Structure 1
Amino acid sequence: MMIARLSALVLAAALLSACAGPQVVEAPVALGDFKLGLNIVKADNPQKVPISRDADPQDWDDSLTAALQKRLGRYDGDKFYNLGVSVDAYALAPPGIPLVLSPKSALVVTARVWDDAAGKQLNEKGEQFTIFEGVDGETMVGSGLTRTAEQQMEKLSFNAAKRIERWLSDHPEWFGLPPKPKEAFISTK
């Protein structure tokens, strides 16, 4: 009886991990004359949720800088735009008890964008985003059980870069494109 239960658990875990796909980077969106200039990430003193695993601020800097460079560095417009992102808070899920206590990871960042040539910030105040890992075969039972802190940071950074790219695409007028019609604009906060 115990072996049957154990076998069922192993089979369920294998099926769930088969559902987990790689991090997919979609084709670039329309960002007009956007070309990534400075890519500055600051994680000087992020708030850590009490149940979170520890993370070094420099690791957040490195992870998020790399994710933003990979996602936004692929645009080859005619003007440089500088991006400043601060890591405000995070929660990296610790190991829990599957199906009973399976905390998820989250990241809170604030983004600002500047027109490099004009030396002007394009958004009046920073835009804050709350980012989650998302649910896949690995996180269904809690990412603290299936991913290291570094893997959680990488996934959160990937999702943050994707969300910032979507935010930039919501403001095509910043990048020499016509503004989106009011009825077509849907906030994704």
Structure 2
Amino acid sequence: MPKLSRILLIAGLAAGLAACSIKKNDLADPPVPLGDFVLGHNIVIPDNLEMVPLSREASKEEWKEVMTKAMEDRFGRYEGTRMYDFGVALNAYALAPPGVPVVAAPKSVLVITVNIWDDATQTRLNPKPKQLTIFEDLSADTVIGSGITRNKRKQMETLSYLAVQKIQDWLVRNPQWFTDNPQVGDNTENDPNPLAPFMAQAGVTPEEAAASPSAQIAPPAAVPATEAIAVAPIAATPAVPAN
């Protein structure tokens, strides 16, 4: 078994054993409190997305579509008045392929980097880009191997749903962002990145994977362009009155 595949298998099994219960779909529940939050710009950046060898292949456009929808499904439910902008850089992924024996069935995994901005002040609230690693949920079919029981689209939708759920957990752990005077800071640490060895072989560091030309959109004057690693908000577009 290639070295990276062993890394993914061990990491996937560890994640599965650590998850004692399956996360239910909570989108029908009331949104968790986030102050006066309303979703502003929802920018998903797939430019530097890397695929791990032996993975099912998915295009950058497919990933962007699925992740954008997952962000809208969760954060589009809020009806506050203070706008927050997101930049989500898709770094690397592995979608468990079909036909892998149970004994070696790897879990699909996705690595992303996230920035959140206070739209009103054009301030990035997390001092450093937030790296998150997402494994498939623990269920009967992922124990067998989701490459056998789930098609590619379902794997992507599951990982994107869990990724945005993890972004929500990150927001909840930083209540200082959701006040009348949002404060810069982050009360959390970045997740380990099991795909880092592959990204290094491909010549892409996690920091580079979070940066892309399309992410350097009009950085705020207070933040040098070289520091606008994921995404800077775009000036709000006035609403067009309905005819």
TM-score of the superposition, structure 1-length normalised?
Answer: 0.80
Q: What's the CA shift string for 1:54-107, capped at 9, x where partnerless?
A: 110011100000001000111111200001100000000001334222111000
SS of the residue 2:88 aligns to: strand
1:99 aligns with one of 73, 98, 102? 102
Do the aligned partners of 1:33 and 1:78 also contact (CA within 8 Å) in 2?
Answer: yes
Contact 1:172 1:178 in 2 (8 A): no
- CA–CA distance in 2 between the matches of 1:188 and 1:127? 6
| Matched positions, count | 166
2:215 maps to none
Distance 1:186 1:21 in 2: 21
Listed as ranges, the matches of 1:171-186 within 5 Å are 171-176=174-179
CA distance in structure 2 between the aligned counterparts of 1:155 and 1:112, rounded to whole angstroms:
21
Indicate the SS of the match to 1:140.
Answer: helix
Q: Helix, strand or coil: the match of 1:53?
A: coil
Q: Is the radius of gyration larger for structure 1 or structure 2?
A: 1
Written as runs of structure 1 = structure 2, the 5 A alignment for 1:135-174 is 135-174=138-177
RMSD: 2.3
Q: Check if 1:87 corresponds to 2:90.
A: yes
Q: Deviations over 1:136-162 (max 9, x none)?
A: 122120000011111100000000010
Matches of 1:55 and 1:63, distance apart in 2: 11
**What is the one-letter code of the residue matched to 1:23?**
N
1:51 alignment partner AA: L
Name the one with the larger strand percent.
1
The residue correspondences of 1:59-98 to structure 2 (distance < 5 A) are 59-98=62-101
- Paired AA for residue 84 in structure 2: Y
For residue 24 of structure 1, what is the aligned residue in structure 2? 26
Task: Check the 8 A contact 1:53/1:92 in 2, yes or no.
Answer: yes
Compared with structure 1, are the counterparts of its residues 187 and 88 closer, same or farther at alpha carbon in structure 2 (3 Å cutoff)? closer
**Structure 2 residues without counterparts, runs of 5 or longer:** 1-21, 192-243
**Residue 47 of structure 2 corresponds to residue 47 of structure 1:** no
Could you tell me how far apart the structure 1 residues matched to 2:54 and 2:88 are? 24
The 8 Å contact of residues 71 and 164 in structure 2, kept in 1 or not, is answered as yes
Q: TM-score, normalised by structure 2?
A: 0.63
Match of 1:5 in 2: none
Q: Deviations over 1:147-184 (max 9, x none)?
A: 111110000000001000110111111110799xxxxx
Secondary structure, aligned partner of 1:83? strand
Change (3 A) 1:101 1:54: same
